[in-house]
Amino acid sequence: MTLLDVRDLCVRAPDGRSLVSGLSFSMERGDRLGLIGESGAGKTLAALAVIGLLPRGMSASGSVLLDGEQVLGAPGRRLDRLRGRAAAVVFQEPLTALDPLKRVGALVAEPLRRRRRLRGRALRGAVLDALSEVRLPGPERLARAFPYELSGGQRQRVAIAMALACEPALLIADEPTAALDTTVQAEMLALLDGLVRSSGMGLLLIGHDLGVVAGVADGLLVLHEGRAVERGTAAEIVHAPAHPRTREVVAAARRLHGALDGLAR
């Protein structure tokens, strides 16, 4: 069954403004799709609509079939079941996703208890495994820490561990490295890439930096002012961008790399 099938998705602001228009795409299990576009292009709203988490007052029309179930208009309880099992999300700023009053161990235990029904010793073991899987050093000590005691990179690893603990069929990562410094960014992308590949889950990776997204995603969809303006493999888009907006995105990525190459000489 198709993992995600989005047809003619439109998202409107409370005042009726159209923020995402006529967006259609689909993903099979294990697909890695990058959603790129400038700030404000509608990437985050499209992702939120996919999991039924649009901000209050916004409305969506069209169709979003996630693991065969219609997300648009679905009651909260059905969406709750779908989130986690079918899709989990990692957001840009991990601190907002982590309850500051809970220790890391308790945060990671929550999805494991809920989705995998683990308890007691099995649960404690699974928490430590989940923290080790995202390469957090000293998982036992870390499990006792509060989010504010961790670095940004460590917090994002905890957020990834929480998302993966649900064993979702699709991981949505919305600019997961934007708040991190460049070296940590590269490490984090390599980690995500490895984890997603080894588990066979699908990945919808959102970003504005083509260099970052194309390094991990196989297919790319370019959004501009709420509409899909171009799609193709990462190689096609990088080598032969057709839409003016895509050409700008590619040129920006090339400028960045060109500057680095220049420095290396």
12 makes contact with ligand ATP (CB under 6 A)? no
**Overall size of the chain counted in residues:** 265
34 makes contact with ligand ATP (CB under 6 A)? no
37 makes contact with ligand ATP (CB under 6 A)? yes
CB proximity list for 102: less than 8 A, separation 6 or greater = 146, 147
Closest distance to ligand ATP from the beta carbon of 206 (Å) = 7
246 makes contact with ligand ATP (CB under 6 A)? no
The residue within the footprint of ligand ATP, chosen from 32, 43, 155, 245 (CB under 6 A), is 43
224 makes contact with ligand ATP (CB under 6 A)? no
The residue within the footprint of ligand ATP, chosen from 27, 36, 41, 161 (CB under 6 A), is 41
With CB under 6 A, what is the number of residues at the site for ligand ATP?
Answer: 12
Say how many C-beta atoms besides its own lie within 10 A of residue 74's C-beta. Answer: 16
Q: What is the DSSP string of 185-234?
A: HHHHHHHHHHHHHHHT-EEEEEES-HHHHHTT-SEEEEEETTEEEEEEEH
76-85 helix and 104-116 helix, angle to the nearest 10 degrees: 110
Closer Cβ to ligand ATP, 54 or 191, answer by number? 54
> Phi, psi (5° rounding) for residue 142?
-65, -35
Q: List the structure tokens of 146.
A: 């509060």
Name residues contacting ligand ATP, limited to 48-87 (CB under 6 A).
55
64 vs 126: CA distance, rounded Å:
32
Stretch touching ligand ATP by CB under 6 A, among 35-43, 120-128, 185-193, 227-235: 35-43
Stretch touching ligand ATP by CB under 6 A, among 25-33, 34-42, 123-131, 161-169: 34-42
Residues that bind ligand ATP (CB under 6 A): 13, 19, 37, 39-45, 55, 208
